[in-house]
Structure formats: C-alpha cells, structure tokens
C-alpha cells in the first residue's frame, strides 16, 4: 500500500491559483481513475479535477472557497502499490495558499470535519447494538420534526409544556427536534416564529429568519468584479432610443431564407457589426484602461463580451475579432458561446479577453438600465426591451418598433461628447441597416 498525492494541475495559461468550488468526494471514499474529485475555478472557467489513479481518499487539502496554488497537494489517496510520495515523504505537504479571508489554522481545524462526519455513526444506532435484530430501528433522527404517530402524546419537559400552554399552543402540532422526538424550547420558539401551519388568523406571519449564505465560486468572482468596477470607474450612462422597425423587417426577411449554414439571426449580430463600425470612428472606446499605471490599451481587434445569465450566475463569453466576422459568423459564434456558457463547458479562453461588452436581457430588458462596465474595459452597451410605441412622423402618430440602448462609459477616459457620438452612430446604423453592409 502506498500513498498518492494529487496536486492542483495547471488549469489555464498564466493561472497561478484557483478557487476550490466543489468537492465531489469525502475522506474514506473509494475512487476510480477519472472519478471527478473536485472542481476549481479560475478567473473565468470552472475546471474539474479527475483522479489519475484508483484509491481511497485519505485527506482533502482545502475547503470550499479556499484559493489553492497550482501545484499544491489537494488530495492524498491510499493506493495499491507504491504511490508517488516516496521522494516527498520527508517534506511536509505544501499547505494551500490562503486568501485573506481565512487563516491557516482555520483550515487546519476545518479539515477533519468531513472525516468526523463520515465516521460518526448515527448516535442511536451506536447506542443500541442489541437492537440490530429489531426489524424497525426508528432513530431519533428519523423522527426529527416529523409529526408523531396517531394518539401519541407529545414529549416535552414540564417547563416547555407550561410555556406552550401559556402561549396557547397545542403541543401535538409541534414537531420535536430532540431525541425521541422531544420538544424543546427551541422547537417552541421556531413554532411560535413560524406560526401555526393551519393559520386560523390572518395567515400573515413575521419571518425573522436570517440565512447565512457563503459567497463562493462564480458568485464571489462576480462580487469582486462588480466592486472593482463600481469603486474604480466613474460611470456615465447615456440612454438613446433607436427605431428598429427597418432592422426588424430586414432581420425577418433574412431569417425567412432558411439555410443550414446560417444561423437564425437575432438582433445581437447587427448590433455587434454596428459597434464595429462605430468603433472604427471612435477607437478609444475599444480599450482596456490600466488605471494602476495610467495607460489605455486601445485595441485594433474588436472582442465583444456578451453578458449571459447562467444557472450559476452571470458569465461573459467573448466573441473574438468581430471586425473580421460577418453577420452570420457573429450569430453563429454568439450561439455557440451561449450554449457553452450555459452548459458550463466554456473554456477560460472563451470567457476572457473582451475589449467591450454588450449586456442584454432580451424581453426582460426594461426601459432603461445602468450597465456596470466590465473592468478594465471603458464602455458597455446595454440593450433594452423592444416595443411598439407611437411616434410622431411630422403629421401623425405611427406605430414604430422602438428599442432603447443604455450605455455606460468610463468617464475618466471617455468624454460625454465622444460617448454620445458613439451611440448616435450606432443608432444611425441600426435605423438604416443597409449602412451596416456598406463596406468602407
């Protein structure tokens, strides 16, 4: 028997550390080669760590939410044969790199927890070995909170009974969390707080519950990113309405012609192409501002991030070199990336490298939004909901398909005037979509 140490592999180019977001195993588990042990998350991508060998988990080197350096041991396995620790046994395993939220000792203390949970048998079961032959070993845990059997008296101390009586509570309706279903003061507190299930009064009850939710993984990344953007960047948000009646006609016509090599077009590819044209005239908007050193990196290539909602939260897949893609190519790439992002299979490369971002909630887009710039970019274009509005054409109101664009800019490097020119240019292109196709 030997010991095999699994270290955190290189999960992406230039990545020095990753956040552990999920353990799929616990101490004592038997794993086979390729069993997924854990998931770690880098700046943008989540990577699964498979086991390279068969073995039994002896040790887990980090807790969910910890940041682990590439190359740090994360799992120790007991394996048949020699293992891979022969040369290293003298050296203590390198502890995981901790982020600033957690002390080393906290991890050390937390580590044995999964082990003890796994090893700790159900208390009642342990306390009654003689009952093994009993056909129905009902444990206290099984009865927890469950209503007791018909006619069975609620079990509670005299003090609890008195309190219940004075509060006008029938203990038969109260679940007991104690051993043998005993109702404690805390059960009574919870019942009083929750109110009777079959509310005879108003049915409106206070809820004073506070749930503690640890912000980990993608949510933490989003939180950090948003904080950075809002604390560093003085935003200016500019809203303009766009008449997309002509664009929608064009789009409908293009989609009528069904070709397998062309995706069904949404509004996004048109907007992307219009942005490329507008950026050609306002190149300072397609840039990353390194405010630490005071340098704006103005990009020639237009790499548009498309903010997308997934079950885990917001991700931003990036369509690279939009300037070199036609309408259908843009559409196809947006579709492919959106699928990958939703499935959680988008790579780190596909989720990074944008120079400007589009945010759109489609039918949920509202009338106006105040988009938060995807730091360190300097501009973001928000798409609001399209709707038919009555517009004055000079002699009468006519129904037009209208849509607002809410765009934010980094006011440190982008003046309001430039922002306005950029949005007006996009508006003009979208209102007269033929211009999008005019080269030069």
- Give contact residues for another protein (rule: CB under 8 A): 124, 127-131, 134, 136-140, 143, 153, 155-158, 161, 165-166, 168, 178-182
Residue 364: burial class (beta carbons within 10 Å; 0-12, 13-18, 19+): exposed
CA distance 400 to 243: 7
Nearer of residues 80 and 141 to another protein, judged by Cβ: 141
Which is catalytic among the residues 54, 235, 321, 411?
411
CA distance 352 to 47: 15
Give every CB contact of residue 118 below 8 A, 6+ residues apart in sequence.
26, 27, 28
Q: Give the helix, strand, coil percentages of the chain, each rounded to 5.
A: 30, 25, 45
Q: At closest approach, how far in Å is the CB of 68 from another protein?
A: 42
Q: At closest approach, how far in Å is the CB of 120 from another protein?
A: 16
Selection from 299, 279, 277 nearest residue 288 by Cα: 299
**Peptide bond before residue 376 is cis, with ω within 30 degrees of 0:** yes
Nearer of residues 172 and 264 to another protein, judged by Cβ: 172
Q: How many CA atoms lie within 13 A of 409 on its CB side?
A: 21
Selection from 216, 219, 17, 15 nearest residue 101 by Cα: 216
Residue 407: burial class (beta carbons within 10 Å; 0-12, 13-18, 19+): buried
Q: Quickly count helices (H) and strands (E) in the chain.
A: 12, 17
Nearer of residues 127 and 367 to another protein, judged by Cβ: 127
Nearer of residues 154 and 331 to another protein, judged by Cβ: 154
Nearer of residues 153 and 200 to another protein, judged by Cβ: 153
Q: At closest approach, how far in Å is the CB of 162 from another protein?
A: 8
Q: At closest approach, how far in Å is the CB of 124 from another protein?
A: 7
Judge whether 317 and 308 are in contact, CB under 8 Å: yes
Give every CB contact of residue 437 below 8 A, 6+ residues apart in sequence.
none
Q: At closest approach, how far in Å is the CB of 158 from another protein?
A: 6
Give ∠ CA 338-340-346 in degrees, rounded to 5: 115
Strand-pair partners of 314: 309
Q: Which two tokens stand for residue 117?
A: 């949970």
Which is catalytic among the residues 34, 170, 290, 415?
415
Nearer of residues 153 and 258 to another protein, judged by Cβ: 153
Nearer of residues 182 and 400 to another protein, judged by Cβ: 182
Nearer of residues 163 and 232 to another protein, judged by Cβ: 163
Active site residue 415: yes
Q: At closest approach, how far in Å is the CB of 168 from another protein?
A: 7
Q: At closest approach, how far in Å is the CB of 306 from another protein?
A: 58
Q: At closest approach, how far in Å is the CB of 136 from another protein?
A: 7
CA distance 241 to 249: 18
Give every CB contact of residue 60 below 8 A, 6+ residues apart in sequence.
23, 25, 26, 27, 74, 75, 111, 114
The strand pair at 379-392 and 356-360 is best described as parallel
Active site residues: 411, 415
């Amino acid at each position: 028997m030997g010991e095999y140490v699994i270290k955190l592999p290189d999960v992406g180019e230039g990545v020095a550390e990753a956040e552990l977001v999920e353990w799929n195993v616990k101490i004592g588990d038997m794993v086979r080669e390729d069993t997924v042990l854990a998931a770690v998350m880098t700046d943008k991508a989540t990577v699964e760590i498979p086991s390279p060998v068969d073995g039994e988990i002896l040790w887990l080197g980090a807790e969910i939410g910890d940041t682990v350096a590439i190359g740090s041991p994360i799992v120790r396995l007991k394996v048949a044969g020699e293992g891979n620790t022969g040369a290293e046994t003298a050296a203590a395993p390198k502890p995981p790199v901790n982020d600033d939220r957690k002390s080393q000792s906290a991890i050390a203390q937390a580590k044995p927890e999964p082990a003890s949970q796994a090893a700790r048998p159900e208390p009642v079961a342990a306390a009654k070995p003689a009952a093994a032959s009993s056909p129905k070993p009902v444990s206290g845990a099984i009865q927890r909170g469950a209503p007791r059997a018909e006619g069975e008296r609620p079990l509670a101390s005299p003090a609890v009974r008195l309190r219940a009586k004075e509060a006008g509570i029938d203990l038969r309706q109260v679940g007991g969390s104690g051993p043998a279903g005993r109702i404690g003061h805390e059960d009574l507190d919870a019942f009083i707080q929750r109110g009777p299930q079959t509310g005879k009064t108003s049915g409106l009850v206070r809820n004073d519950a506070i749930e503690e939710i640890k912000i980990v993984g993608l949510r933490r990344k989003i939180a950090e990113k948003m904080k950075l953007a809002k604390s560093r960047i003085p935003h200016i948000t500019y809203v303009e309405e766009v008449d997309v009646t002509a664009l929608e006609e064009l789009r409908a016509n293009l989609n009528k012609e069904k070709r397998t090599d062309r995706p069904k077009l949404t509004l996004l590819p048109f907007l992307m192409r219009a942005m490329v044209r507008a950026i050609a005239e306002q190149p300072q908007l397609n840039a990353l501002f390194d405010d630490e050193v005071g340098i704006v990196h103005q990009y020639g290539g237009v790499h548009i991030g498309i903010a997308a909602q997934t079950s885990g939260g917001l991700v931003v897949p990036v369509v690279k070199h939009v300037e070199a893609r036609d309408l259908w190519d843009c559409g196809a790439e947006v579709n492919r990336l959106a699928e990958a992002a939703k499935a959680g299979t988008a790579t780190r490369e596909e989720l990074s490298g944008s120079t400007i971002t589009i945010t759109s909630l489609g039918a949920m887009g509202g009338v106006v939004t105040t988009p938060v710039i995807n730091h360190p970019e300097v501009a973001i274009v928000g798409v609001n909901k399209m709707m038919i509005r009555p517009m004055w054409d000079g002699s009468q109101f006519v129904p037009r398909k209208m849509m607002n664009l809410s765009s934010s800019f980094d006011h440190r490097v982008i003046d309001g005037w430039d922002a306005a020119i950029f949005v007006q240019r996009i508006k003009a292109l979208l209102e007269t979509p033929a211009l999008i196709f005019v080269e030069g």
